[in-house]
Amino acid sequence: MTLDKSWFSEAVEATGTAFSLKGHKLHEEQTPYQKIEIWDTQTFGYLMTIDGCTMVSTRDNFLYHEMMSHVALNSHPDPQNVVIVGGGDCGTLSEVLKHAEVKSATQVEIDERVTRLSEKYFPELCTRNSDPRATLFFGDGIQWMKDAKPGSIDLIIIDSTDPVGPAEGLFGKRFYLDCIKALKPDGMLVQQSESPLLHLELIKEMHAAMRQAGFARTHLFHFPQTIYPSGWWSGSIATKSDAPLLERIDDRTVRGMETKFYNPRTHRGAFALPTYVEEALE
Ligand code: SAM
């Protein structure tokens, strides 16, 4: 079957892969930073793309947003002050604010249009934006982190686009050095780290850069993400202290928090790595 214009396709030359959803385009705009499109798809609800890459769909965004927030939040002893870099669709912010112990959550998104379009097409991700603990800051996360007060942050969540364009600098040692400085002694960082099947080299380089910057330990976890290349995604946690990750995932911490994918079993299972990934990260 040949795909006509009623299909959105993300074709990636470097990996020789493509992912498509049938639908029709509702909106397209070029911002100072990137090209954003909104599609109304036949089976995944609304879809936001940036520079031709899938970002968020109504149907499957819970997989990414729950795993990029709760895994790290429940691995930290007391995450009170959380900063999200990127994440302009507000889905990660919404999950972070489900945690009563979080006292402040700042989203640092470079492109305000991502948030404005999310408010229109993904209002379910933006319901907690008016929470008094939430701050929506629009600016470059790299500069924001340079200027951050030293030793002030418990958890940094890097929910960015792929390491090209404005997000490129979020994947390197210089940025990680600023993150370490901004974190409290028991602070940690979690970053979306692409596909364990297609981007293992990038994951290795990220972990190496995190350690070179001074993070004591790095951990990989993984989860399904149907609209991203290969359908399988990962997050990387880097801790400032050498202490092992906590597992604050007893019944008490999960009860009362509505999640669709995340639970104590998917939390633990996410750290169980396939043999070839374990060997690559040794
Ligand atoms: N879940 C998605 C993924 O893994 O592909 C990411 C979604 S979120 C929409 C990514 C956001 O990162 C975009 O809105 C983009 O504008 C933002 N971003 C990219 N570079 C940035 C930077 N240097 N500072 C702050 N935000 C940035």
Residues identified as active-site: 159
- pLDDT grade for 256, boundaries at 50, 70 and 90: confident
pLDDT tens digits for range 116-164: 999 999 999 999 999 999 999 999 999 999 999 999 999 999 999 999 9
CB neighbours of 248 closer than 8 A, spacing ≥ 6?
A: 74, 75, 76, 77
Sheet holding 53-57, edge to edge: 7-12, 17-30, 35-41, 46-50, 53-57
For range 254-282, the mean pLDDT? 94
Q: Whose CA is nearest to atom 2 of ligand 1?
A: 55
Ligand 1 cavity residues, CB under 6 Å: 33, 50, 55, 64, 85-89, 108-111, 114, 140-142, 159-161, 166-167, 170, 192
Q: Compute and round to an integer the Cα radius of gyration of the chain.
A: 18
d(CA 163, CA 127) in angstroms, rounded, equals: 29
Cβ neighbours of 95 (radius 10 Å): 27
Q: For strands 183-192 and 104-109, give the pairing.
A: unpaired
pLDDT at 216 over 90: yes
Please list, in sequence order, all residues whose beta carbon lies within 8 angstroms of the beta carbon of residue 249, skipping any fewer than 6 positions away.
74, 264, 267, 268
Looking at this protein, which amino acid is placed at residue 47?
A: L
Helix (H, G, I), strand (E, B) or coil at 202: helix
Q: Annotated binding site for S-methyl-5'-thioadenosine: which residue ranges?
A: 34, 109, 140-141, 166
Distance of CA 9 from the midpoint of ligand 1 (Å):
20
Residue 253, pLDDT > 80, answer: no
Q: What local confidence, expressed as pLDDT, does residue 1 receive?
A: 83
| pLDDT given for residue 261 in this prediction | 96
pTM for the model: 0.98
Query: Which domains, from first to last, does the chain contain?
Result: 7-57 (2.30.140.10), 61-280 (3.40.50.150)
Percent residues over pLDDT 70 in the chain: 100
Relative to the CA of 162, which ligand 1 atom is closest? 5
Distances (CA, A) of 228 to 77, 111, 219, 232, 268: 31, 21, 21, 7, 22
C-alpha 95/C-alpha 66 separation (Å) is 6
Task: From 60, 68, 110, 63, select the one nearest 85 (Cα to Cα).
Answer: 110
pLDDT at 178 over 80: yes
State the distance from the centre of ligand 1 to the C-alpha of 167, rounded, in angstroms. 7
Among 36, 142, 160, residue to substitute to test ligand 1 (most atoms within 8 Å of Cβ): 160
Q: Considering Cα of 243, then 256, then 87, then 205, what sign does the dihedral take?
A: positive
pLDDT at position 251 over 80: no
